Structure formats: C-alpha cells, structure tokens
Amino acid sequence: MELLASLRAAPLAVVRGVTNDVLVPADAEYVLEGYIDPAGWTEEEGPFGEFLGYYGVMRLNPVFCLTAITKRRDALFQTATISGAALVNTDAANIGTILTEVAVWDALRTAVREPVAVCATASSGGIFNTRVAIRQRVPGEARNAIAAVLGSVADTKNVFVVDEDVDVTSDAQMDWVLATRFQPDRDLVVQNGFRAIPVDPSLEGALTGAKAGFDLTLPFGQRHRVDMTVSTPPTFDDTPARFQTVEDALADGTKSFAELVSALGSDDGREVVLALDVLRHEGRLARQKDGRYVLSDSSQ
C-alpha cells in the first residue's frame, strides 16, 4: 500500500472487503475476495502459456475459494500479454527485462570497475539472454562480469560481455562482435549445476541446468592494433594548411593519407597522390605496418 501511494504521489484510500477484513484500494478496478482451504485442497491446472513462449505442463495447485467480487462502476478489466513465439511483443517479457537488468547491474557494481550498459533481451523472455558492456580497466574483468552475472539473483542463462564501443541494444552490433571478436575454444565459459527455472523446456525435467558466458571483448591492451580498429570514413575540416609539401609533412612525422590531406589543406587529395608517387619512384617513401607513410631515410 505504501509503495502504491508513493508511486501515485498521493494518499491511497482503502476500504475493507465485504466478506473479510482485508484492506484493499478503494478505487481498485476489480477485487476478488476469497481464501485457500487450510486443508490443502488442490486440483490439476493447465496447460497455460508460460512466459518463455511454451505451454507449461499440468500441475497440482491450491484451489482458491471465491467469496465475493467487487468493482468500480466504470471498471476496466486489465490483462497482460504472455507467451507465444513473439515474446519480444509481450508485456511479461518486457517487464522481465527491467527486473533482470536491475539485478545484473547490482551484481556488476561489485565485480568490475566500470560497467557501462546492460540489456536483457525481451525475445528471451526478459531473463535468459543478457548483454553487458564494460570498460575494462585491468585484464580479466570480462570474465569477472560473466561470473558475477551467472552467479547473481538474476535468472540469466547466457551472458554476452562486450566492450563499451558496442551498443548492447543493437542485434546487428551484437551479431557483428559475436562473429569477429569471439573464438569458441578461447572465449566460451560453460558451467553446470546452477539453480534453474522449471518451466525451461530445455531442462527436460532436470532440477539444475548449465549456463554460458560469451567473452566478446577485444584482447585487453590490443585495441590500438590496426586489425582491431573499427574502420571509419575520414573527416576533414577547414583548418589552414600546416605544410607546403608532402615531403615537409612527412619530415614532421609519419602520417596517414587522410592526415596528409588535412596537413596540406588539400581539397580532394589529388596533389597528395601525385607527390607520394614521386617520392615512391625516388625510393624515398615507405609505409609502416599500420599503413602510415614515412620517409624512407627516417624510417630506419
């Protein structure tokens, strides 16, 4: 009741039930009054669509004995969508993402120095597949994040850890880093014997299950390498030319083609191409492993 009043930012009026002394919100849409038999009366119930998209099996559940139904004069019967193949569109899955993300974030704060983002996918029921972005400060933090999430109160079954440059809400970016930053024999962590959710059909009746962590981060300290640098179109501004010739620019230090164009204030880079060709024919031009140009007599 206190939580409801807090969310409404106003006092919450209550009334007593007509067949019991339970206090209920005075403006509730519907109130179902009743009791569960103390003798433990149960009946088989189901199958109902569960939040993972499949039917749940028949189960013995307590019988609720209904004694009264009260409602507003203008009552609306509200429901929540659940189950089916398109879980991403259901209310239950989207509510589940919020609960999972909060639990995972709390776990990460004690396991890594700088968590960046968390996304629990609604298409996995809002609980089973969780994506985590971190800014690694020391080697091994990606594995720390995996261990923290899998061992937390969240029911995550598969956790994917990425660097801070990846948008965890983007299916396309997550697919990209899974394809290009992941080696199964090196970056997959699998452990078994975890507490599991019984309605998960992949358990096939088992009481415990396995969980997996996918380390999709770049090797720590290696992001400066050319083959680990994300390619981007060059950008040019209107800053005035700092050098008159390509040779003068290279004498100042190694430069990429884009940096040469900017250093000479070139409009389209044509004179840079011609000048580089002259230096190459003169045997005075070399390139480093990262593709940057350097005068050969200064590259020793």
What is the domain count for the chain? 3
Predicted TM-score (pTM) of the model is: 0.79
Map tokens 């070399």 to a residue: 286
First-to-last C-alpha distance (Å) of the chain: 77
Same domain, yes or no, for 97 and 182? Answer: yes
> Is residue 226 situated within a structural domain?
no
**Residue 233's pLDDT is what?**
81
- Tell which of 39, 71, 103 closes a domain: 71
Same domain, yes or no, for 283 and 250? Answer: yes
**Residue 298's pLDDT is what?**
46
> Is residue 241 situated within a structural domain?
no
> Is residue 141 situated within a structural domain?
yes
Same domain, yes or no, for 8 and 94? Answer: no
Helices (H), the chain: 2-8, 91-109, 141-150, 171-180, 184-187, 246-251, 257-264, 270-281
> Is residue 204 situated within a structural domain?
yes
- Here the CATH number for the domain that contains residue 270 is 1.10.10
Domain of 293 in residue numbering reads as 246-298
> Is residue 239 situated within a structural domain?
no
**Residue 135's pLDDT is what?**
96
- Here the CATH number for the domain that contains residue 182 is 3.40.1670.10
Same domain, yes or no, for 186 and 151? Answer: yes
Same domain, yes or no, for 158 and 102? Answer: yes
**Residue 155's pLDDT is what?**
94
Share in percent of the chain as helix, strand, coil (round to 5): 30, 25, 45
* Residue 47 phi, psi (nearest 5): -80, 140
Same domain, yes or no, for 94 and 121? Answer: yes
- Report the C-alpha gap between 259 and 252 in whole angstroms: 12
Same domain, yes or no, for 64 and 94? Answer: no
- Report the C-alpha gap between 203 and 155 in whole angstroms: 14
Same domain, yes or no, for 43 and 142? Answer: no
- Report whether 140 contacts 168 (CB < 8 A): no
Map tokens 């079954």 to a residue: 157
Same domain, yes or no, for 192 and 114? Answer: yes
> Is residue 220 situated within a structural domain?
no
> Is residue 140 situated within a structural domain?
yes
Same domain, yes or no, for 284 and 253? Answer: yes
Nearest CA-CA partner of 146 in 136, 93, 48, 199: 136
- Report the C-alpha gap between 132 and 139 in whole angstroms: 17
Residues of the chain where predicted confidence (pLDDT) is lower than 50: 298-300
Map tokens 């593709």 to a residue: 291
Same domain, yes or no, for 197 and 255? Answer: no
> Is residue 160 situated within a structural domain?
yes
Structure letter (DSSP) for residue 233: -
- Tell which of 12, 47, 71 closes a domain: 71
CA dihedral in degrees (164, 169, 172, 176; nearest 10)?
Answer: 30
**Residue 289's pLDDT is what?**
85
Same domain, yes or no, for 61 and 91? Answer: no
How many other C-beta atoms are found inside a 10 Å radius of the C-beta of residue 224? 8
**Residue 154's pLDDT is what?**
93
**Residue 299's pLDDT is what?**
42
- Report whether 133 contacts 168 (CB < 8 A): yes
* Residue 162 phi, psi (nearest 5): -130, 170
